[in-house]
Structure 1
Amino acid sequence: MIFNLRNKTLFIFLVLATLLYSSCKSKKILTDASKSRSVTSGSLTERYASLLDVREKELGNEKLYRFIDSWMGVPHRSGGMDKKGVDCSGFTTILEKEIFNRAVPRTAKSMAESVKRKYEDDLEEGDLVFFDFQGQKFSHVGVYLHNNKFVHASTSKGVIISDLKDPWYYKYFSRAGSIKD
């Protein structure tokens, strides 16, 4: 079959769309809005301490929370790596590089395969948490904060903070760990 210019363009578009989609395979997932609280008023440390149910001095890395604050609400976009839109693994890649100076693989699945596994009770700020959505192993990733809270790029709400123990997320929770140095 001889490809004309239109067919070649369509073929290239489909290949690129497939590659972008495969970087984070989570589908549009809707959760009850009451299960993720927004950060709205007060100083940065007051807002996040309240959201994460910790004392301000327990927050740890203020740079991390400034980063999160600047990304909060950025919409989901498959393959995205900027504030116009970001997917879960893109957000995690950027956060880990800018805040912890750690290079991580680009896909959630590759990240999951490269972490030093931890029990959820041993998680620390900056560790990664993984989920299996739609039967896809390690199809979603987030960054652990405190008290079972994690930040991630939700397909339905963009960058948000959610609770790992929320029954909806917890039933898909599959692995957690720290980046191997």
Structure 2
Amino acid sequence: MKKKLTLAVMGFAIALTLGTGSAFADSKMDQVIDSAKGTSYVSGGTSLSGFDCSGFTMYVFNKLGIKLPHQSGSQFSMGKSVSRNEMRPGDLVFFNTSGRGVSHVGIFVGEGKFAHASSSRGVIISSLNESYYAKRYIGAKRIMSTDAYQSVAVDSPDYDDVD
């Protein structure tokens, strides 16, 4: 009985962990973001040695072949505004954390979440619904064309399943 219970619990635990990864688990963008997760916050940082928020977004997009300036306000002036219900992975999300306009940026990853360089926790994934971010949300911008989005932010096919 104990063995069956252990197997049932393990099976349930495995079932719960399936699909808990990123909203775009096998995309090129996901791989770049995953490689940067946990990197420390460094003011002015633009590399895996340390990032600030716009340095992080600049780094990710640069790895995907898209150039961004190193300043959240400058990034906010780019692209096309998109409403919250139209956002797709890869859209930039902007916040007023200083009380003086655009001061923080992250990358929407789907399912209401975004990747960013937090000044206190480094590169993490957070929810747009967390009260801190929800109160400071300014808007989202689409930087990538549909073609770029399809090639870098959509799951790659799983070739292991092809016979």
What TM-score does the superposition give when structure 2 sets the normalisation length?
0.73
Structure 1: stretches of 5+ with no match in the other structure: 1-41
Match of 1:10 in 2: none
In 2, the alpha carbon distance for the partners of 1:139 and 1:84 equals 22
**CA-to-partner distance for each residue in 1:43-94, whole Å, 9 max, x for gaps?**
xxx77x4145x5xxxx265222221121111000000111121100001001
1:51-70 equivalences in 2 (<5 Å): 51-52=21-22, 59=24, 62-70=27-35
Match of 1:50 in 2: 20
Provide the secondary structure at the position in 1 that maps to 2:68. coil
Given the alignment, which residue of 106, 109, 118 partners 1:142?
Answer: 106
Given the alignment, which residue of 80, 85, 89 partners 2:50?
Answer: 85
1:25-174 equivalences in 2 (<5 Å): 49-52=19-22, 59=24, 62-99=27-64, 101-174=65-138
Pairwise CA distance, 1:136: 2.3
* Structure 1 contact 116–180 (Cα < 8 Å) conserved: no
In 2, the alpha carbon distance for the partners of 1:175 and 1:167 equals 15
In 1, the alpha carbon distance for the partners of 2:103 and 2:79 equals 15
RMSD over aligned CA atoms reads 1.9
In 1, the alpha carbon distance for the partners of 2:76 and 2:144 equals 11
* Structure 2 contact 114–128 (Cα < 8 Å) conserved: yes
Provide the secondary structure at the position in 1 that maps to 2:110. coil
* Structure 2 contact 91–144 (Cα < 8 Å) conserved: no
Kindly indicate whether residue 145 of structure 2 is the aligned counterpart of residue 175 of structure 1.
no
The letter for the 2-side match of 1:119 is: S
Aligned residues: 130
The letter for the 2-side match of 1:108 is: S
**CA-to-partner distance for each residue in 1:5-42, whole Å, 9 max, x for gaps?**
xxxxxxxxxxxxxxxxxxxxxxxxxxxxxxxxxxxxx9
Structure 2: stretches of 5+ with no match in the other structure: 1-13, 146-163
**Kindly, what percent of the aligned residue pairs are identical?**
35
Pairwise CA distance, 1:102: 1.4
In 2, the alpha carbon distance for the partners of 1:61 and 1:116 equals 26
